[in-house]
Every structure is written in structure tokens, then in C-alpha cells.
């Protein structure tokens, strides 16, 4: 699988970045949908009032934002609506094949997308991560981020190179950790792989149910044996933040945005990629099959890929934009967060989520439920 890192993102795109930054903020794409509305269904915390106002000012289009907390919540809502109700959805790229399988999204008309505004490596690598199926593109990559280790700097000082998913499961962390059920099993699996305790590499679990059972049986047994470490399970951003803010957790496997939000509140929470590699995802915009405001949806996509919008998004979420030129416009705080989270060779070790086919998701959820109920 090809990897996308900040290094490969920025390599060789200096001229593109300069062209993008010099381009007028109002582009030809906005003429497609210079009025009307667009209905956006996206992750909670991804879109704020400032962004909505900036989009409307730039395009004349009013955006309505509805938040969700998990990929499964998004998929279930789209299935219930038979692909209707929204013009923009925001799944992780590894789950896009699920939407195509259930005929919930439509192919992207690339002639309506200002492709040169998207980092070339993100556009290319998304093909192998789930955005392109049977030669048709169903998603425009807009951002990427990680799930790694959030930690209390005072109580659990961690350093890059030694920090590990295994730190979450140490005996001294009993009653002090927070994780998400299904992804915690992957993080634990990567630690066990490094310890030589898996029958085959973790990546093989995504290739067949037979492999998955062999690997996950080992992981589940270890997770259950160490379950006393978990003070709270999380499934969305609010729960993950609450684990540290009010429920006494000092370490956890969370999204980058979780730690960034807590740090902005003044809490001593850091975020670091573990030696096994931060679990890395790419996200992007898909247009549901039943979307009613198609031109406005494309106008939103093209606006979101401007350097200004990309930087606004990163400053809000601490999640990395795929818009050419956005990184140069981000705040000093956002740049500092990125540097602290991914020092040295961390970007070379990112562990990208493979495509999660329907059989894997169903089986994954079975193991998660067994873990949670144990």
C-alpha cells in the first residue's frame, strides 16, 4: 500500500502551492452554484460557524451542517435514507467501498473538481485506499489524521521512540486509560506483533476472515486480560475528551483532534505517535446518490480545497488538510502540535488503515462487542 506523509505531500509541489496561493479565492467552480443551499453531514467538530460563514461569503451558498460521531452512524443513516437527505458526506476513505456496495454514493465528476488544488500525492494514493472502485472515483480527499497516544504530560511522560501502544496496557495504568473498542484491538495487535506474539502480521487480518480470526483471537484474549486498565471506552470525540477532562484518564488511544482540543483548554495533554506507527486515516467528501444540490456540493468541494479553507480547517481541528498551500497558512499552534506529534521518522512509520470491507466490519464489531461485554 502506498503511504501518504507530510514529506511526500510537500515534495515536488512547491510550484503548485505557489500557483494555488496566487489563484483568486473566488474561482470558476463557484459559478456552478452561486446560490441555493448545500446540506453537509460531517464529523462533529469538523465544521464551525466561522467556516460556514466564510463559505457563504465566498460562494453565495448557504450551508446546513449536521454532525455525526462515527463511521457506522453515517453509514446507517445513509442506508436508512437510501442515499438521500444530504449533498455532502465525509467518510474515511477505507470505508468508501461500503457505500458503493450499498449504492449510496455517486461517482465524482472530476471535470467539476479543481483537482490541482488537492495535493497530488493525496489524490493519487487515495486510489489505493478506497476512493476509486472499478475505475470510478467516489471520493475527493480533503484531510488526513491519526489515532495514536494521548497522555498527561505530568503523570505519564512519554517520549518518541519508546512510547508504545503497550503503555496503555501496562499494569500501572489500571483504571486510568481510555480507548475506542474496535481500534484499540488494532493498536494492541500492533504492540503484540512487535512483541512477536501474533501468528502473522496485523495487516493480514484485513485480507481474509480466516486470517482475522487467528489474529483477533490472540488480541481479544490479551485485551480481556488487561481490561481493568480501561476506565472509559469512547466512541466519539466528546466521549474521548470527557475521559481526560472529567473521568480521570491519564493515557489513551485517541484521535489527534482529541488531544489538540484538550491542550487548547490548557490541560497538560500531549499527543505522540507510538513506535509501532500511528493509525492513520484519510477522509474526503462523497456525494450521496440522492443529493439534490449537486452544483452546490461541487462548489463546497472546490472551496474546501482552497489554501485559506484548508488552513481554517486545520486550525480548528488540528487535522491535516489536503489543500495545496494550506500547511503554510496554518497557525503557529497547529504547526507546533504537528511537530510534537510526529517527530523524527514518525511520518515514515504511519500505519494506514487498509480498506475495511463489509465482512471485516461485521466481524470487527463482533470482537469489539465481546471485548466490551467481557
Residues 7-46: tens digit of each pLDDT:
444 333 333 333 333 333 444 444 444 689 999 999 998 9
d(CA 253, CA 245): 15
d(CA 255, CA 23): 33
pLDDT at 94: 96
CB 328 within 8 A of CB 17: yes
The neighbour count for residue 159, using CB atoms within 10 Å, is 8
Mean pLDDT of the chain, nearest integer: 91
CB 278 within 8 A of CB 346: yes
d(CA 146, CA 278): 6
Sheet-wide strand order for 88-89 = 62-68, 37-43, 88-89
CATH class of 146-279+350-373: alpha beta
DSSP three-state, residue 201? coil
Question: What residue spans define the domains of the chain?
Answer: 6-144+281-344, 146-279+350-373
> Average pLDDT, stretch 207-222?
98
CB 189 within 8 A of CB 202: yes
User: What does the block give as the cell for 305?
Assistant: 480545497
d(CA 236, CA 341): 21
Residue 57, pLDDT > 90, answer yes
Q: What angle do CA 246, 152, 271 make, to 5 degrees?
A: 110
User: What does the block give as the cell for 328?
Assistant: 503554510
The model carries a pTM of 0.86
User: What does the block give as the cell for 344?
Assistant: 523524527
d(CA 147, CA 256): 6
| pLDDT tens by residue, 234-268 | 999 999 999 999 999 999 999 999 999 999 999 99
Three-state helix/strand/coil letters over 342-365:
CCCCHHHHCEECCCCCHHHHHHHH
> Average pLDDT, stretch 46-56?
96
pLDDT at 35: 80
User: What does the block give as the cell for 299?
Assistant: 462548489
Instruction: Please give the share of the chain, as a percent, with pLDDT higher than 70.
Output: 91
- List, in order, residues 6 or more apart from 73 with CB less than 8 Å away: none
pLDDT at 34: 63
Please spell the DSSP secondary structure of 42-61, one letter per residue.
EETTS--HHHHHHHHHHHS-
pLDDT at 20: 32
What's the number of CA atoms in the CB half-sphere (13 Å) around residue 228? 6
Residue 99, pLDDT > 50, answer yes
> Average pLDDT, stretch 349-358?
95
Assigned fold of 6-144+281-344: D-Maltodextrin-Binding Protein; domain 2 (3.40.190)
What's the number of CA atoms in the CB half-sphere (13 Å) around residue 157? 1
d(CA 230, CA 215): 22
Give kind and range of the element (H or E) at residue 193.
helix 181-194
Amino acid at each position: 500500500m502506498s503511504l501518504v506523509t507530510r514529506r511526500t505531500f510537500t515534495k515536488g509541489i512547491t510550484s503548485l502551492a505557489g500557483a494555488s496561493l496566487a489563484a483568486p479565492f473566488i474561482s470558476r467552480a463557484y459559478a456552478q452554484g452561486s446560490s441555493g443551499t448545500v446540506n453537509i453531514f460531517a464529523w462533529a467538530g469538523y465544521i464551525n460557524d466561522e467556516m460556514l460563514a466564510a463559505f457563504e461569503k465566498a460562494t453565495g451558498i448557504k450551508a446546513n451542517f449536521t454532525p455525526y460521531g462515527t463511521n457506522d452512524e453515517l453509514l446507517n443513516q445513509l442506508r436508512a435514507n437510501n442515499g438521500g437527505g444530504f449533498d455532502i458526506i465525509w467518510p474515511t476513505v477505507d470505508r468508501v467501498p461500503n457505500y458503493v456496495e450499498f449504492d449510496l454514493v455517486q461517482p465524482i465528476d472530476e471535470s467539476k473538481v479543481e483537482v490541482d488544488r488537492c495535493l497530488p500525492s493525496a489524490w493519487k494514493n487515495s486510489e489505493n485506499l478506497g476512493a476509486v472502485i472499478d475505475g470510478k472515483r467516489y471520493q475527493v480527499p480533503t484531510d488526513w489524521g491519526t489515532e495514536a497516544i494521548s497522555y498527561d504530560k505530568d503523570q505519564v511522560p512519554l517520549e518518541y521512540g519508546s512510547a508504545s501502544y503497550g503503555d496503555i496496557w501496562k499494569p500501572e495504568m489500571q483504571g486510568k486509560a481510555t480507548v475506542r473498542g474496535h481500534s484499540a484491538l488494532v493498536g494492541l495487535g500492533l504492540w503484540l506483533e512487535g512483541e512477536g506474539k501474533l501468528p502473522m502480521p496485523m495487516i493480514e487480518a484485513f485480507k481474509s476472515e480466516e486470517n482475522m480470526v487467528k489474529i483477533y483471537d490472540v488480541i481479544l484474549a490479551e485485551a480481556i486480560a488487561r481490561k481493568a486498565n480501561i476506565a472509559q471506552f469512547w466512541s466519539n470525540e466528546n466521549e474521548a475528551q470527557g475521559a481526560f477532562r472529567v473521568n480521570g484518564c491519564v493515557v489513551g488511544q485517541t484521535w489527534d483532534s482529541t488531544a489538540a482540543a484538550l491542550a487548547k483548554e490548557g490541560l497538560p495533554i500531549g499527543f505522540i505517535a507510538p513506535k509501532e506507527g500511528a493509525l492513520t486515516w484519510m477522509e474526503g467528501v462523497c456525494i450521496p446518490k440522492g443529493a439534490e444540490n449537486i452544483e452546490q456540493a461541487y462548489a463546497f468541494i472546490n472551496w474546501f480545497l482552497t489554501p485559506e479553507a484548508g488552513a481554517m480547517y486545520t486550525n480548528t481541528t488540528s487535522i491535516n488538510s489536503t489543500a495545496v498551500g494550506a500547511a503554510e497558512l496554518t497557525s503557529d499552534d497547529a504547526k507546533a502540535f504537528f511537530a510534537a506529534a510526529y517527530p523524527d521518522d514518525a511520518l515514515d512509520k504511519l500505519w494506514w488503515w487498509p480498506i475495511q470491507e463489509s465482512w471485516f466490519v461485521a466481524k470487527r464489531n463482533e470482537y469489539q462487542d465481546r471485548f466490551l461485554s467481557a
